[in-house]
Amino acid sequence: MRILSGIQPTGAPHLGNYFGMMLPAIELQERGEAFYFIADLHALTTVRNGDALRQYVHELALDFLACGLNPERTAFFRQSEVAEVPLLAWVLSTVTPMGLLERCHSFKDKQAKGLPASHGLFSYPVLMAADILVYDSDVVPVGRDQKQHLEVTRDLAIKFNETFGTVFKLPEPLIREDTAVVPGTDGQKMSKSYGNTIPLFGTEAELRKKIFGIKTDCTPLEEPKPVEGSTLLTLYRLVAGEDRAKEMEESFRQGGTGYGEYKKQLFEAVLDYFEPMRRRREELQKQPGLVEDILRKGTEKAREVAKSVILRVRQAVGI
């Protein structure tokens, strides 16, 4: 089973990236042949500084490795280093109905957030389809909010196969029911777009500021605190575990403790949870060239597969 997933390098990874994509991807390494890429071509829709993008890619690779990605089991690489991807994206675009892209909710969502309506943003699902199909992917882990993109990929693969003969296998979604939807400091989904993130590897001062800035209600110290929809409880459950989260929840119900104390407990739990990864990251930083070597080897493995798929595509379409 070949597993395909990618993550955009648009800044420092946060808790939402870790629990929503990175941790599930790391766990899936043991279940099949994993191909994980850093989606720097996708990032071009928002990142407009070349030096910044290169730094984001390097830091993201370092973070992913520190969190447990195993390059011995996983092909880990830059999206842009596989030239077959943009070639396939163009070929797929020639059979992509405009109406299909116009119905994609991500374009409308990003426009609503103020992103410029570029062709790259509009055709994002076609590039994503190329990312998936070029590696003969069997399964793609997706959140429910990304399921539509995989449906578009399958639609394009079917349309291509009907037009040119069977070339692509149809990937299946792997929707994790237990994948966390991580709230940000304002209670919305944690996202760089909202400026509500808590960084994975920020300094203690940065983490303290972010966590103590989490929005809470005005319930007096002595009163019971609302449990339903609590950002503090949700985040604490992720880093402290179910048993300790139940203790905090019971304390919420009893009253007598202020939100400042709960934020302190969350801050300490975040530090404890990520401490082994921080140490691992420091060790990786002491090995110059290691990250680039890992990405280079991952690229070689990815291109070996991509070349065979593109050969089928070329023969089918006549180029």
The catalytic site residues sit at 110, 189, 192
DSSP secondary structure, the chain, as one string: -EEEEEE--SSS-BHHHIIIIIHHHHHHGGGSEEEEEE-HHHHTTT---HHHHHHHHHHHHHHHHHHT--TTTEEEEEGGG-THHHHHHHHHHTT--HHHHHT-HHHHHHHHTT----HHHHTHHHHHHHHHHTTT-SEEEE-GGGHHHHHHHHHHHHHHHHHH-S-----EEEE-TT----B-TTSSBP-GGGT---BSS--HHHHHHHHHT-------TTSPPP-TT-HHHHHHHHHH-HHHHHHHHHHHHH----HHHHHHHHHHHHHHHHHHHHHHHHHHHTSTTHHHHHHHHHHHHHHHHHHHHHHHHHHHHT-
